Amino acid sequence: MDASRLQGIGMTSRRTRERLAMRLGDAGITDVHVLNVIRQIPRHLFVDEALASRAYEDTALPIGHGQTISQPFVVARMTEILIRYGIPQKVLEIGTGSGYQAAVLAALVPQLHTIERIRPLHTRSQALFRQLGIHNIRQRLGDGHLGWPGAAPFDAIVLTAAPAIIPPALFEQLADGGQLLAPVGDDRGQRLIVYRRLGEEIEEEAVEDVSFVPMLEGTQR
Residues marked active site are found at 70
* Distance separating alpha carbons of residues 121 and 218, to the nearest angstrom: 15
Phi, psi at 214, each rounded to 5°? -70, 150
Per the DSSP assignment, residues forming a β-bridge with 174 are 154
* Distance separating alpha carbons of residues 75 and 77, to the nearest angstrom: 6
Are 69 and 25 contacting, i.e. CB atoms less than 8 angstroms apart? no
Could you give the 3-state DSSP secondary structure of residue 165? coil
What proportions of the chain, in percent to the nearest 5, are helix, strand and coil?
A: 40, 30, 30
* Distance separating alpha carbons of residues 206 and 181, to the nearest angstrom: 10
Could you give the 3-state DSSP secondary structure of residue 43? helix
* Distance separating alpha carbons of residues 174 and 153, to the nearest angstrom: 5
* Distance separating alpha carbons of residues 94 and 176, to the nearest angstrom: 19
